[in-house]
Structure 1
Amino acid sequence: MPDNGEFDTDVLIVGTGPTGATAALVLATMGVRTHMVSLWNWLAHTPRAHITNQRTNEVFRDLGLSDEIAREASPWEVMGDTLFTTSLAGQELVRMRTWGTGDARKGDYVKASPCGMVDIIQPKLEPILLKNAAQRGACFTFNTEYLSHTQDENGVTVFLRERVNGREYQMRAKYLVGADGARSLIADQIGLPIEGQMARAGTAYITFNADLTRFVAHRPSILNWIVTPDAAFGEIGMGLLRAVKPWTQWIAGWGFDMSKGEPDLSEPFVRQQIATMIGDPTVDIEILNSSIWYVNQAYATQYSKGRVFCGGDAVHRHPPSSGLGMNTCVQDGYNLAWKLAYVLKGYAGEGLLDSYSDERAPIGKQIVLRANQSRLDYAPLNDCFRVKGTPNPVAAGIARFRDPGPDGVAARDAVRTALELKDTEFNAQGVEMNQRYASGAVITDPNVGEEEFDKDSTLFVQPTTRPGAKIPHAWLVGRDGLKKSTLDVTGHGKFTVLTGLSGEAWARAAEAMPLPFLRTVVIGSPDAQDLYCDWQRVREIDEGGVLLVRPDGHIAWRVHSPVEDAHTAGELLRKALAAILNNPTVEELALPASADVFEPPLSDTPPPQFA
């Protein structure tokens, strides 16, 4: 799509949160002109999202951000257990192993990915994304209000206002991305269909400073649930002390009855609530800010209209239960951006962009339903600590829980079952990693039926090379003897033809059509040795078969067996690329015969630039 000078930028992104900043980072890394605008003076200033799962860390690894993320995040081991206690200083009722840190699950997490989990708050994450996007060429403007847009067959005209002086102006872009949050004006203006319910319940959040090291350092925990008869906690029935900066900055959270209007956030009440939750009135507390938020259960069934695309909270709105929000936002931006880049560079037809909604809308619905179900799943746990019909149900429940009699035995037996149910929130590796895409950018394997999961797909990862799935992680060894993941030799903005030593015809065919976005990886070659036989265990195809892996790491196409010659392989490969990219003239994109063929990065730390 040539630039005739009519456009101020290729892609204009409204919103600098995880979705917008990730999309800008990918686009800038791929050499696409990108401009971000934000209504606000700076980035997130409250520690909203924080749990960062393995799949999102894989995205950051692909973008070369792993080291920066690790420096700013609380490490995996600090996330630790989740506590249920009468107060932080008081009687502990039960403790749960969470975020894959327990003995029973840690191996599953280590086996599934080269990346672990971390806890990084949004005010630390967003500057990393924005800084890197800017360093790679993205532009951004703060204090800028999005007003409206019009679109035509060639582009989008976006109307903006400078908040500092009120000046209104317009920018012309080829595409518009609405990453403008849960009250998205863009999603509303293009009429995206939203299903579900907003404001199902209300929660108060108080950010405060207090050194609580002596209560938690011996049992590291990001989340501490408080069950006490001395405070009112609304619908969930428990209060939350969440570590923001272990162990000196915290959020205290509790529900409130929306039918009675706004909650009491006066300083005396808030201080009393926090002191009760800590369990030690002598602790010095510095209140930083108070806010309320509402539990939503709403999702869009379509993410775009014409040249306008929405992502993040604009299209999926839900509580923080299960820690899926920020992760899904990042992955929205990652999915959309490479497709925009390929269309803008002329590699793909505009039909490729239809796959964004087809792939991400089902994921958005899934996480909205999962997060709300996780909230409901606290009910059985609450019942273990309550005796209904008594003057003080919580006090009676706590006493019963410690009773050696038959009622106490029954309550303690019930709590084990209730905690196992909460695994679907706190150890739900399958929800986070088992995403399967079905769209025009994926060619279904005709040799297999519908996928069946060997274990609970909510809890456990099932690695597979089925088209639509993410390429499984397996450790390879380079010629330098260092380990690298299959994720490291794929991605980085390019399609990958991945085969084995006996798949020579596939490799020769790919190398004979040196497309600017195509690389070849031969597992078993000196640069990608399968010394552990890890890849052999998960590849699900013959060594001489082939996988075509997309820039986002998802498998677009596979053939189980070798083919006779490079000509046959080339015909099959060209046909697959043309279908996936919605570009029947894909062969015309080949580089001149004298041009260098791109070699994939083979070091442990992928380079940040893959333009």
Structure 2
Amino acid sequence: MVTTDVVVVGSGPAGASMALALARLGVDHIVVTRYETLAAEPRAHITNQRTMEVLRDLGVAEQVEALATPQDLIGTTTFCESLAGEELGRVRSWGTDPRSRAAHRLASPAGICDMPQSLMEPILVQGAQAAGSRIRFSTEYLSHAVDDDGVTVTVRDRLRGDEYEIRAKYLYGADGGRSRVAENAGLPMRGEMGVAGSLNIVFRADLSPWVAHRPSVLYWVLQPGSDIGGIGMGVVRMVRPWNEWLTIWGYDVADGPPDLSEEFTTGLVRQLVGVEDLEVEIVGSSAWTVNHMAAEHYGSGRVFCGGDAVHRHPPSNGLGSNTSIQDSFNLAWKLAYVLRGWADPSLLDTYSAERAPIGRQVVDRANRSIGETGRIFDALGLSDTTDAAVMRENMARRREPGAEKQRRALREAIAFKAYEFDAHGVELNQRYVSSAVAADTVAADPLATVEDPELSYVATTTPGARVPHVWLAGRDGDVSTIDLAGHGRFTLFTGPGGTVWPSTEWLRVIVVGPGQDLEDPYGDWARLLEAEGIGDAGGVLVRPDHHVAARFATVPDDPAEVFAALTGEQ
């Protein structure tokens, strides 16, 4: 029988990032995937700041940035009747609005980029293999059995045809939106699958004549039938600038998907681009459904799930792979600490307590974004999109003198899509509440005072929040507090009065102040701590996943007791 510590099922963003994280933490594991290769379709693509921070910790951010489309080329989200046709308006997206850009730069050492899943997965998997992952392709998960000492996972080698067992201490199911691991584990789900139908068509064509003046990753197309199914409108999405693309178009899920013949797919592409004789090479096509479902718990005993297995939603807001990678980053260090004997197994219960509320928020936000597209139709007076002549007439009316009311309504409807394309708070305001986060009496969480926590990020050392990004000055140059934290260890940021804290195998103590290895020349860190009631001898204890575990106005009597309480050790 094959033995290991952790079996990971799936090699998508959740499974591949878990493999990479476990490998870098020195945890023995095996990844099994039923597929022969990694993802061929681009599928997920927007990679937000929080995920880029995780990838920096995992050592692959530079590789991602080298292949990704940079932030400046993805943010002019455009609404139009076709790419070559009339434009209805634009919204600056993904942190490219000047005000939003400033907020993004203040919030993180990392930026946003567009990285198709077909390019992201190889980087994660190759990084994992280089660090020690054992990855078995064409190996299908069949079932598992849990006992007091571990998990026995039954798999089938799809090339040889035989079945065999893998014995592990823990199982992680990252096997997608129809997860057999989640089903076999009996994870409770809430919501609905198949609420709408959608089509993806990947194609190659030179569209630079219609996009060079307004570079973006997304062009939203309002045409007859564009409000049926799908994700709110038709979409022409850039995969690689500016000759590889993907269209998204809806269908009535009750009728089933249309025949995706080359004639149909080529015709639809030309229709959305608005050029009848466009030279098109169809690369591939597929039908899928919009889902609105999330697991109420992410684990059962020794079995855990992450990614699409536990949060199933449309691609709106670009949160799918981001949330999946962050799921794995949350759980990986906890598995490592339990396996090393540094933490009680009860620490693993905090994974579900912390990530399930985030998953539910993401599922609800993504589906709500689809509905908010209806404001654009309403502004144009379109109760349906069955009559092309009426659509053109209503859209043309906005050009007329005296149509200020319609123009204003359209402007406001398009601007409102910032909740989908620039929801900075959704990405960074995550709060964890669990036994791995200490109760706090130092200061109130400022999130309660933010006017719109979905749009605006607030930096705070509140336990459960991600540690704020501040540039500190080191001997080799400036370094972010985000990059100083993590890497498999707890990190304590303290001042010159907190030097009594001992560094250990699990804890790195960083003293910030004049004459120390790290200084705060701009005073940003000092101002933040002072505003939140943390004194010179106090500190901020940050977990390996960059989230604040506890903060102290002064040094606690026994730092070891603090760690024991957070990890369940007695």
Report if TM-score (shorter chain) is over 0.5: yes
Matched, 1:429 2:424: yes
TM superposition shift of 1:384? 2.3
Q: Deviations over 1:270-314 (max 9, x none)?
A: 222211211222321000111111010000010111111101000
Aligned to 1:532: 522
Tell me, yes or no, if the aligned pair for 2:5 and 2:29 is still in contact at 8 Å: yes
Give distance in 1, aligned partners of 2:491 and 2:457: 23
Give distance in 2, aligned partners of 1:18 and 1:51: 12
Matched, 1:317 2:316: no
Tell me, yes or no, if the aligned pair for 1:49 and 1:122 is still in contact at 8 Å: yes
Using the size of structure 1 for normalisation, the TM-score is 0.90
Aligned to 1:370: 365
TM superposition shift of 1:170? 0.5
Aligned to 1:280: 275
Query: Sequence identity, in percent?
Result: 48
Partner SS, residue 259 of structure 1: coil
Aligned to 1:394: 391
Q: Identify the match of residue 117 of structure 1 among 112, 115, 118.
A: 112
Matched, 1:252 2:244: no
Aligned to 2:541: 548
Q: Identify the match of residue 511 of structure 2 among 506, 522, 540.
A: 522
Tell me, yes or no, if the aligned pair for 2:232 and 2:370 is still in contact at 8 Å: no
Amino acid at match of 1:534: D
Tell me, yes or no, if the aligned pair for 2:450 and 2:456 is still in contact at 8 Å: no
Q: Identify the match of residue 470 of structure 1 among 457, 466, 475.
A: 466
Q: Cα distance 1:387–1:396, how it changes in 2: closer, same or farther (>3 A)?
A: farther
Q: Cα distance 1:139–1:228, how it changes in 2: closer, same or farther (>3 A)?
A: same
Tell me, yes or no, if the aligned pair for 2:89 and 2:414 is still in contact at 8 Å: no
Matched, 1:234 2:223: no
Tell me, yes or no, if the aligned pair for 2:220 and 2:234 is still in contact at 8 Å: yes
Aligned to 1:582: 568
Q: Cα distance 1:468–1:7, how it changes in 2: closer, same or farther (>3 A)?
A: farther
TM superposition shift of 1:467? 0.6
After TM superposition, the structure 1 = structure 2 runs for residues 173-252 of structure 1, keeping only pairs within 5 Å, are 173-229=168-224, 234-235=228-229, 238-252=233-247
Give distance in 2, aligned partners of 1:232 and 1:62: 41
TM superposition shift of 1:228? 3.1
5+ residue gaps, structure 2, are: none
Partner SS, residue 260 of structure 1: coil
TM superposition shift of 1:74? 0.5
Tell me, yes or no, if the aligned pair for 1:179 and 1:313 is still in contact at 8 Å: yes
Tell me, yes or no, if the aligned pair for 1:497 and 1:510 is still in contact at 8 Å: no
Give distance in 1, aligned partners of 2:450 and 2:169: 45
Worse-superposed segment, 386-395 or 357-366: 386-395
Matched, 1:42 2:37: yes
Matched, 1:510 2:494: no
After TM superposition, the structure 1 = structure 2 runs for residues 12-31 of structure 1, keeping only pairs within 5 Å, are 12-31=7-26
After TM superposition, the structure 1 = structure 2 runs for residues 397-416 of structure 1, keeping only pairs within 5 Å, are 397-405=394-402, 408-416=403-411
Aligned to 1:603: none
Q: Deviations over 1:520-548 (max 9, x none)?
A: 10011532110111112323222321111
Partner SS, residue 415 of structure 1: helix
Q: Identify the match of residue 452 of structure 1 among 444, 448, 464.
A: 448
Aligned to 1:71: 66
Q: Deviations over 1:220-263 (max 9, x none)?
A: 1100011235x655245631100001100101111111222222
TM superposition shift of 1:509? 3.0
TM superposition shift of 1:428? 0.2
Tell me, yes or no, if the aligned pair for 1:209 and 1:250 is still in contact at 8 Å: yes
TM superposition shift of 1:420? 3.0
Amino acid at match of 1:174: K
Aligned to 1:587: none
Aligned to 1:566: none
Give distance in 2, aligned partners of 1:86 and 1:23: 42
Amino acid at match of 2:228: G
Q: Identify the match of residue 573 of structure 1 among 548, 559, 562.
A: 559
Aligned-residue Cα RMSD (Å) equals: 1.6
Question: How many pairs are equivalent?
Answer: 562
TM superposition shift of 1:387? 4.0
Partner SS, residue 438 of structure 1: coil
Q: Identify the match of residue 153 of structure 1 among 138, 148, 153.
A: 148
Tell me, yes or no, if the aligned pair for 1:227 and 1:237 is still in contact at 8 Å: no
Tell me, yes or no, if the aligned pair for 1:84 and 1:227 is still in contact at 8 Å: yes
Tell me, yes or no, if the aligned pair for 2:35 and 2:137 is still in contact at 8 Å: yes
TM superposition shift of 1:372? 0.3
Give distance in 2, aligned partners of 1:92 and 1:432: 29
Amino acid at match of 1:542: G
Tell me, yes or no, if the aligned pair for 1:228 and 1:395 is still in contact at 8 Å: no
Tell me, yes or no, if the aligned pair for 2:140 and 2:157 is still in contact at 8 Å: yes
Give distance in 2, aligned partners of 1:237 and 1:30: 42
5+ residue gaps, structure 1, are: 1-5, 564-568, 585-611
Tell me, yes or no, if the aligned pair for 1:386 and 1:397 is still in contact at 8 Å: yes
Tell me, yes or no, if the aligned pair for 2:91 and 2:415 is still in contact at 8 Å: no
Tell me, yes or no, if the aligned pair for 1:384 and 1:401 is still in contact at 8 Å: no
Tell me, yes or no, if the aligned pair for 1:85 and 1:94 is still in contact at 8 Å: yes
Partner SS, residue 224 of structure 1: strand
Tell me, yes or no, if the aligned pair for 2:71 and 2:113 is still in contact at 8 Å: yes
Q: Cα distance 1:453–1:544, how it changes in 2: closer, same or farther (>3 A)?
A: same
Partner SS, residue 245 of structure 2: strand
Matched, 1:330 2:325: yes
TM superposition shift of 1:510? 1.6
Partner SS, residue 207 of structure 1: strand
TM superposition shift of 1:449? 4.6
